[in-house]
């Protein structure tokens, strides 16, 4: 079972769950999850690593700064670097999903010397995602929810009827792919109900202004010089191919912006593949750790 701790780093109080001893492997959640998303990975990799899963700033038991600008990606990168410092790790393996994955891509670009390896689960590389949001009608349609998440109405819509929309979107309540047990549902409801937590998570979208062009808005510019956006850390990308929000087109051209790339597709996985197929996800990570020893 994981133990729970707090670290005062980068001006924030970060809560994290920890299991095992050994080289650091850090698991970073996305929206609207929290450390609990990685329970299956903490148990598995805690057998031979120091497996750590933080609540990102804005979430659950971590600090929740009030200003949207306090959720800029460079600050989120510094949170992870400072937490690794606190844990005594100069270099480590970073595993991340969704918004955690967006921050992990940025970490690999900003601080490649800190990473032994990078593992991404259903989170798009920024250069590819930017191009798709500008040019690809399928991804533009799939990303419309981002505009809602950035709106002033988002909190009201997502909290209505005891978080009914999030229970359906994230936990799969009433859906054939639903993965959550009653215990999982209680844990997520408790995390979402933490004062300020939902706004904190939504502020990731607001700070980055990420999403497709709004009606009447021009598309954001596309990066043409990819050298500054090329990841040079050994990278494993695991992708649930039934993700309705992040389409498999995000894998096209990935080898042009990642110099040492392994891709593992999970045909029956959705955006929540780590919950649905934990043994398969863990197996791919294990294989990658063996193939890319520290």
98 is known as an active-site residue: yes
Task: Give the 3-state secondary structure percentages of the chain, helix then strand then coil, rounded to 5.
Answer: 45, 20, 35
Tokens 């500008």 correspond to what residue? 134
145 is known as an active-site residue: no
CB atoms within 10 A of CB 264: 17
Q: From residue 175, how far is each of 61, 73, 140, 172, 180 by CA, in Å? A: 29, 33, 24, 5, 11
CB atoms within 10 A of CB 107: 29
Catalytic residue, from 55, 70, 79, 98: name it.
Answer: 98
Catalytic residue, from 49, 271, 275, 284: name it.
Answer: 271
49 is known as an active-site residue: no
Catalytic residue, from 49, 205, 275, 284: name it.
Answer: 205
What would the DSSP string read from start to end of 152-170? TTHHHHHHHHHHHHHHHHT
Rg over CA atoms, the chain = 18
Q: Catalytic residue positions?
A: 98, 205, 271
């Amino acid at each position: 079972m994981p133990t729970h701790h707090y670290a005062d780093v980068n001006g924030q109080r970060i809560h994290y769950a920890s299991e095992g001893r050994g080289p650091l492997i850090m698991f970073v959640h996305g929206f609207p999850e929290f450390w609990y998303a990685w329970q299956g990975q903490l148990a598995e990799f805690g057998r031979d690593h120091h497996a750590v899963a933080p609540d990102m700033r804005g979430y659950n038991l971590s600090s929740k700064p009030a200003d949207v600008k306090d959720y800029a990606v460079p600050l989120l990168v510094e949170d992870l670097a400072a937490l690794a410092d606190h844990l005594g790790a100069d270099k480590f393996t970073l595993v991340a999903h969704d918004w955690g994955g967006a921050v992990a891509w940025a970490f690999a670009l900003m601080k490649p010397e800190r990473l032994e390896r990078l593992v991404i689960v259903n989170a798009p590389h920024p250069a590819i995602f930017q191009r798709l949001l500008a040019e690809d009608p399928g991804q533009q349609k799939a990303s419309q929810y981002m505009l809602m998440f950035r709106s002033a109405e988002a909190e009201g819509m997502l909290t209505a009827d005891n978080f009914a929309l999030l229970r359906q979107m994230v936990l799969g309540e009433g859906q054939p792919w639903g993965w959550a047990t009653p215990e999982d549902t209680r844990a997520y409801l408790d995390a979402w109900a933490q004062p300020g937590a939902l706004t904190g998570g939504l502020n990731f979208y607001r700070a980055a202004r990420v999403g497709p062009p709004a009606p009447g808005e021009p598309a954001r510019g596309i990066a043409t010089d990819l050298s500054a956006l090329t990841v040079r850390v050994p990278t494993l990308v695991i992708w649930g191919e039934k993700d309705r929000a992040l389409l498999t087109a995000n894998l096209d051209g990935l080898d042009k912006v990642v110099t040492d790339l392994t891709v593992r597709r999970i045909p029956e996985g959705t955006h929540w593949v780590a919950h649905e197929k934990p043994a398969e996800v863990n197996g791919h990570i294990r294989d990658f750790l063996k193939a890319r020893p520290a």
